[in-house]
């Protein structure tokens, strides 16, 4: 903890020295106000970074950033799909499924598991208005670290009803929050 605080103070001091040196070297006063604005924003980020890290804001910002990129990619796929042949559209959809699978793997890794298999289900009816939209995700994961196993609860069965264990529900909620797909359309299975 103390070494992290020391490193934080060291980074701020180094940045101030660097900015002062740059400001003294710049001959033209016209650009100084823009450089001051830019360096001031970086200074704010440097000062607030430990607080953001402590509160977990970094992870939420990363998740929201990736979620926005996903939405933009989805819209571009919908627009572009009207302009390409059916074979190309099929290839594009396959690549899109693969990319979503990679994103799901990153989400699963953040939750402390590694992905064994992911099946991404998309609307492939080119005549539909929902063409290219995500309809469901089936994921099989396993524990990442065999030494630090959590206490596991197998699926609970009462009569003919099956209940998911809390770990599966937790991973399912994270994926649902990221992709905005209904919980009924996401299946998570944890291998033991």
pLDDT beyond 70 at 135: yes
At 21, give phi and psi (nearest 5°): -65, -45
- What band does 147 get if pLDDT is binned at 50, 70 and 90? very low
> Residue 149 above 50 pLDDT?
no
Concatenate the DSSP letters of all residues of the chain into one string: -HHHHHHHHHHHHHHHHHHHHHHHH---TTTHHHHHHHHHHHHHHHHHHHHHHHHTHHHHHHHHHHHHHHHHHHHHHHHHHTTS-HHHHHHHHHHHHHHHHHHHHHHHHHTTEEEEEEEEEE---TTSTTTT-EEEEEEEEEES-STTPPP--PPEEETTEEE--HHHHHHHHHHHHHH---GGGEEEEEE-
One domain, residues 4 and 52: yes
Average pLDDT, integer, range 28-38: 79
99 has which bridge partners?
none
| Model pLDDT for residues 34-83, shown as the tens digit of each residue | 788 888 888 888 888 877 777 766 666 667 767 777 777 776 666 555 55
User: Does one domain contain both 98 and 34?
Assistant: no
Say if CB 61 and CB 98 are below 8 A apart: no
- Count of residues making up the chain: 192
Question: Has this prediction a pTM greater than 0.85?
Answer: no
| Residue 30 within a domain | yes
Residue 99 and residue 138 share a domain = yes
Tally the domains of the chain.
Answer: 2
pLDDT tens track for 81-107: 555 566 677 787 888 888 888 888 888
Q: Which of residues 150 and 31 earns the better pLDDT score? A: 31
User: What mean pLDDT, rounded, does the chain reach?
Assistant: 77
> In degrees rounded to 5, what are phi and psi of residue 186?
-120, 125
Q: Which residues are bridge partners to 161 per DSSP?
A: 158
Residue 76 lies in a domain: no
9 and 100 fall within a common domain: no
Q: Report the alpha-carbon distance of residue 81 to residue 75 in Å, rounded.
A: 10
Same-domain pairing of 52 and 117: no
**Does the residue 155 lie in any domain?**
no
Parent domain of 47: 1-57
């Amino acid at each position: 903890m103390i070494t992290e605080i020391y490193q934080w103070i060291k980074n701020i001091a180094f940045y101030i020295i660097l900015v002062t040196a740059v400001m003294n070297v710049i001959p033209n006063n016209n650009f100084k106000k823009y450089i001051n604005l830019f360096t001031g924003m970086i200074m704010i980020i440097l000062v607030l970074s430990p607080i953001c890290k402590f509160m977990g804001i970094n992870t939420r910002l990363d998740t929201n950033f990736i979620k926005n990129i996903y939405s933009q990619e989805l819209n571009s796929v919908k627009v572009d799909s009207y302009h390409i042949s059916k074979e190309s559209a099929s290839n594009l959809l396959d690549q899109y499924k693969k990319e979503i699978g990679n994103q799901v793997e990153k989400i699963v890794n953040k939750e402390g598991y590694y992905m064994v298999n992911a099946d991404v289900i998309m609307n492939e009816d080119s005549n539909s208005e929902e063409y290219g939209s995500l309809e469901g995700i089936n994921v099989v994961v396993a524990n990442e670290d065999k030494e630090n196993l959590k206490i596991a609860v197998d699926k609970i069965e009462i009569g003919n009803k099956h209940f998911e264990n809390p770990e599966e529900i937790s991973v399912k909620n994270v994926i649902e929050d990221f992709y905005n797909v209904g919980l009924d359309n996401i299946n998570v299975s944890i291998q033991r």
